[in-house]
Amino acid sequence: MSIIELRSDTFTQPTPGMRQAIANAVCGDDMLGEDPTVNDLEARICQMLGKEAAVFACSGTQSNQMGVWAQCRTGDELLIEEGGHIANYEGGAPAVLGGVSCRKIRGTRGMLSADVLQAAWRPINQHFTPTRLVCVENTANLGGGVAYPLKQLQEIRDWAQSHGLSVHMDGARFFNACLAGGYTPAEVAETCDTISICFSKGLGCPMGSILVGSKEVIFHARRARKIFGGALRQAGIVAAACVYALDNHLDRLKVDHDNAQFFAREISTIPGVIIDPAAVETNLVYFEIDPSVATADQVAQTLARRKVMVIPLGPQRLRACTHLDVNRDALQRAADSLREVMTSRTFTSECTTQASAYSSR
């Protein structure tokens, strides 16, 4: 029986068509701006988002940090929702790489708002860290995979501009957000100075991310990429997978969203599982385990013995993530396995390194 991998869409495998595109990629030296496939990818993303420039990167963490570094100075701070990936799951990179501190603000379902930002605003004063950047995450992962409403992003942009701040979007699941939010990539891009878009999740690429913004900001971001050790040479073999994904995998994201809603409905009837299926907007399904029954770790380990892989993201909270390598039949089997586990209440011993299992992406 094959494993049903629901821990993350980062587990996706390149499809046969994507592997062929990689094999046929035309390559050059990207560090010198001479890789035609990378150049094509960057140009396509700029056209899609209506931005002036883009720079290809190895990972979402790298492109996020390039965006932070290019728009902040040592000693500055950025404002971010308290569950944001940049502040919690990137190894302290803002501080390590750029001397930038993260001020965490409690939002709603992982999302900031102009009102929340205004309440947290501190005036220019020698006692305070200068605020330079607002970071939003779309979709908001720990908020349940929800997509920002476009109006809310526009209000954040207007607030930031009125306070002389820039806005950076961590778009790890950017195209999922566009689909769920009912807006175009260009409409979202109008609300942000920079956007980091990851290709190695729902789009199914083996690696790769991209940062888009103004020519000036991307000029500095390219220097950041070099400083961070991310100089690329024949990167067309990776960029070709991203181009293929843009051509073939955007529309199919709806399948992942539909599958996530199916799984949420199936498990909502299981005693001891707490979930509101209506809250599932994209490909992330968060659910709670009744503490009188078991812990999230116990359930995850017991499911793993049945070759169903989900991830604990809190003492009682679990996440399942749908993607192109998981079909409806597999999700039905996963739901049935969870029902059997919760009904039998025979759990694997709880892991002693529970916290180490928690990961965001």
The pLDDT assigned to 349 comes to: 65
pLDDT in tens, 134-163: 999 999 999 999 999 999 999 999 999 999
The pLDDT assigned to 12 comes to: 97
- Whether 356 shows a pLDDT value over 50: the answer reads no
Question: What is the CATH code for 252-347?
Answer: 3.90.1150.10
Mean pLDDT of 165-175: 98
What is the C-alpha separation between 81 and 126, in angstroms, rounded? Answer: 24
- Whether 189 shows a pLDDT value over 90: the answer reads yes
pLDDT in tens, 215-233: 999 999 999 999 999 989 9
**Overall pTM surpassing 0.85 (yes/no):** yes
Domain ranges, ordered by start, for the chain: 15-248, 252-347
Query: Which of the four CATH numbers 3.40.640.10, 3.40.50.300, 3.40.50.720, 3.90.79.10 does domain 15-248 have?
Result: 3.40.640.10
pLDDT in tens, 269-326: 999 999 999 999 999 999 999 999 999 999 999 999 999 999 999 999 999 999 999 9
- Whether 346 shows a pLDDT value over 90: the answer reads no
pLDDT in tens, 61-107: 999 999 999 999 999 999 999 999 999 999 999 999 999 999 999 99
